[in-house]
Amino acid sequence: MTTSSNPVWRWTAAGSLIALIILCLAWELRLAPIFPGGSWMALKAVPLLFPLRGVLKGNLYTMQWASMFILLYFMEGVMRAWSDLNPVSAWLAGLEIALSLLFYVSAILYCRPAKKAARARAGKTEVKQP
C-alpha cells in the first residue's frame, strides 16, 4: 500500500537510509575500519539495501518493518559508541545513532496518518453487539 500522507517524512526517511548506507561503507572501508585496509564489517550495509526501494516508493509495509529493522543499527551504534577506543569510530557510531533515529522517527510519522485512517475505517465497519 502506498500513501501520499506526507512526502517530507518519506524523503527524510529515504535520505537518512541512504546516508546510513554510505556511512556504513565509508566507516568500515576507509574512515575507521576494525582492521587496517578495510574489513568485512562493510557487509553490514547490504541488509540496508533491501528496504531501500520500498522506502523510496513510500510503501507503508516496508516503512513499518524497516522502522523495526533499523533499530539493529541503533543498537550497534550505541555499543560501538560506548566501547570503541578509537575516537573517530566512536564519533561515527554517534552519527549512526543519529541517522537510525532520524529514519525511525520519520518512518513512524510517515505511517501515522495511514494507520489513523485504517483505524477509523475499521471503527465504522465494526458492528456493535448488545
What residues does each domain of the chain span? 7-35+46-119
Cα(34)–Cα(58) distance, integer angstroms: 35
In angstroms, the first-to-last Cα distance of the chain is: 35
Nearest to 52 by CA among 10, 94, 23: 10
The structure's pTM equals 0.87
pLDDT in tens, the chain (130 residues): 444 568 999 999 999 999 999 999 999 999 999 888 888 889 999 999 999 999 999 999 999 999 999 999 999 999 999 999 999 999 999 999 999 999 999 999 999 998 888 888 888 766 556 5
Name the grid cell of 129: 453487539
Cα angle vertex 113, ends 45, 55, to 5°? 20
